[in-house]
Amino acid sequence: MDNPYVTEPMRILAIRDETPDVRTFVLQFHRDEARRAFAFRPGQFGEFSVLGAGESAFGIASSPTRTETLEISFRKIGKVTSALWDLSLDDEVGFRGPFGNSFPVDVMAGQHVLFIGGGIAMSAIRATIEWVLAHPDNYGDVLILNGARTVADMVYKDLCREWAQLPGKQVIRTVDPGGQTPEWDGEVGLIPMVLEKLAPKPDNMSVVLCGPPIMIKFTLQSLVKLGFPPDRVFTTLENRMKCGFGKCGHCNVGPYYVCKDGPVFTAAQLAALPKDY
């Protein structure tokens, strides 16, 4: 959008319930001019708002190759997300963006790609997964590790089935110990444990990672153990973003404003951040 302060109205075209508390919206701009002009890169985010409730930052979950609509997935946990949850088809959502940097899909070209997502954080890397899958000649093998606390909390179940059917693509689903059901046919174990069991080879492979901070911390340790260089591990920090363009200072950490200099960082950059982040 030309003016980052101006909210662009969008309407809800479709609603999908991913889990009991995670929902996906398919959105479309009201104005034809906005629809034609809109573009974004995988990993960028937007500010989505409900009149009277406020706005929140969400990663754009849909593929950058399809911009006639965009998708967001969110968990119902606060004032804004509760207001979004209460909306219905054809209701209006405000949008500002896109903001931030992106996952370096050009740098990853010619390599195998390992995607690791935990819970709702899969939405932050889904656009990059979709980009890589839409350009199969540019990348090698793709391994997707999708984790959740329980079977009921697993997001993008249908998409995982679709991705797994593609040649050269492997999808591993895992739930925390105790979160499985009798019918569960995936892995049982925390993401770092399952990752080490899979033991992917770091040669010519990039990693795209997102999840809760504690998951990222221990997954990064597992990636080091497996030999992945920190400059080939890309993650996204979204839990502190507020205004979208570095004015409010809410997401400042060390030399960075996450919303402006991120949200995508390498593991090498994370290692240099203040230890209390």
In a domain, 254, yes or no: no
Nearest to 172 by CA among 222, 221, 114: 114
In a domain, 163, yes or no: yes
Each residue of 193-212: pLDDT tens digit?
A: 999 999 999 999 999 999 99
Residue 241 scores a pLDDT above 90: no
In a domain, 2, yes or no: no
- Please give the pLDDT value at position 17: 97
Structural domain span for residue 115: 105-236
Residue where a domain stops, chosen among 99, 121, 150 = 99
**How many structural domains are present in the chain?**
2
pTM exceeds 0.85, yes or no: yes
Cα distances from 50 to residues 77, 205, 261, in angstroms, run: 15, 40, 26
Do both 58 and 156 map to the same domain? Answer: no
Do both 16 and 132 map to the same domain? Answer: no
237 backbone φψ class: left, alpha, beta (φ>0; ψ -120 to 50): beta
Which one-letter DSSP state was computed for residue 77? -
Q: What CATH number does the domain containing 170 carry?
A: 3.40.50.80
Each residue of 102-159: pLDDT tens digit?
A: 999 999 999 999 999 999 999 999 999 999 999 999 999 999 999 999 999 999 999 9
270 backbone φψ class: left, alpha, beta (φ>0; ψ -120 to 50): alpha
Do both 204 and 120 map to the same domain? Answer: yes
Measured distance CA(141)–CA(39) in Å, rounded: 27
Whole-number percent of the chain with pLDDT over 70: 98
